[in-house]
A and B are shown apart, each in its own frame.
Chain A
Amino acid sequence: MSIASDLIRGHTETIILAHLIHNDSYGYEINKSIQEKTDNQYELKEATLYSAFRRLETGGFITSYWGDQTTGARRRYYKITHLGRALYEQNREEWQTAKELITKLIEIGE
């Protein structure tokens, strides 16, 4: 199963972008949805998540803002940009292509 976790970690940025397409979100919510979608088999380390956030933000693919919380500390929300949407589309296509190619290469005829 370790191959899968490497692959997932490699696609962290696209996963984050996908999550932000429809709604702004924050760190824990994104990680939680990953856990739910993978039936609790995978989760991202916080460090991986924050690294990805920082890379995406520096590249201009997402922006962040502080939500005003009534109680306790503020929460940092992320929002996808036009550039981010374009990157998402591009990465999604690349993954599709890679997926098809590798399947072709690995599968032996029945």
Chain B
Amino acid sequence: MNKRLQDYINNLFSQVPNSTYAQELKEEMLTNLSDRYEDLLREGKSKEEAFIIVTSSIGDIRELLSGLDESAVIITTKDIEKRRRKSALITSFAVMLYILGGTVLICSSFFGAENLGLILLLIMVTVATGMLVYDQCSKPAVLKDESHPERVRMTSEEKRKNELESIVSSILWTSIVAIYLLLGFMGDLWSYSWIIFIIGAALQNIVHLVFKLKEK
């Protein structure tokens, strides 16, 4: 390989920490520039001319290099696909565990070992939840917004309204739970008091509707 070109390129990249991407870019650049150099020689240019032409064709690589510090991670589609597949595997396995947990509990009742079944269920639920949390936490930012392809830039006004709505919602739901427990313990109405949750869901939607209408 053309030693002079190689030195030149190494010099260009001297400011940049040695990442895989930097290495690969250097290699790609060297091959392309060498090809060009050879072509120019074939056309009859002198070595000096060819070298000048080739090096002046590089242009401003600062933008490329600025992205090459240690913290920059170039995610290629291959990486994204691999990550997505891993995520899908983890999520489906976790869901399977949830459902199987229920099955285990039911089976255990056939053998009269409900307590064991319950313990097994809880263990499976723990494992499944742990997997899901791990998956969510280790996702690179690129993949997180998949369900919201357009990043909605919220103004501070909208943010405030959103916060307001979520505060109202949390007040609503904590009240619902409190009422449910009260009805249960005080009135011993466990068989009916669960209806309050359905009412709660309706109220939640009403709250949402009110805020939506207020927006207009």
| A interface, size bucket | 20 to 34
Q: How would residues 50 to 87 of chain A score, 1 for a CB under 8 Å from any chain B CB and 0 otherwise?
A: 11001001101001100001001111100001000000
Q: How far is the CA of A64 from the CA of B33 in the complex (A)?
A: 18
Bound-complex Cα distance A100 to B39 (A) = 38
Chain B 73-84, CB-CB to A under 8 Å as 1, else 0, gives 011111010000
Q: A47 at interface (Cβ–Cβ under 8 A)?
A: yes
In the bound complex, do residue B32 and residue A47 qualify as a contact, i.e. CB atoms below 8 Å apart?
A: no
Q: Is the Cβ of A28 less than 8 Å from the Cβ of B64? A: no
Residue from A45, A58, A76, A81 within 8 A of B74 (CB atoms) = A58
A47 touches B30 (CB 8 A): no
Task: Evaluate contact between B24 and A54: CB separation under 8 angstroms.
Answer: no
Contact pick for A46, options B24, B33, B34, B77, CB 8 Å? B33
B60-A47 in contact (CB<8A):
yes
Contact of A13 with B by CB under 8 A: no
Give me 14 A-to-B residue pairs in the complex whose CB atoms sit less than 8 angstroms apart, sorted by A's number: A27-B28, A28-B36, A32-B36, A45-B57, A46-B29, A46-B32, A46-B33, A47-B60, A47-B61, A54-B64, A64-B76, A73-B27, A75-B28, A76-B31
* Closest A-B pairs by Cβ, 7 of them: A45-B59, A47-B59, A28-B32, A60-B77, A27-B32, A47-B61, A76-B28
- Per the CB 8 Å criterion, the residue count for chain B at the interface is 28
Task: Give chain A residues whose Cβ lies under 8 Å from the Cβ of B33.
Answer: 28, 46
The answer to whether B141 has its CB under 8 Å from any CB of chain A is no
Contact A45-B24, Cβ < 8 Å, known A51-B63, A60-B77, A72-B1:
no
The minimal Cβ–Cβ distance linking B51 to chain A, given in whole angstroms, is: 14
B26 to A, closest residue via Cβ: A73
For the complex formed, measure the closest distance between the CB of A15 and the CB atoms of chain B, giving whole angstroms.
Answer: 16
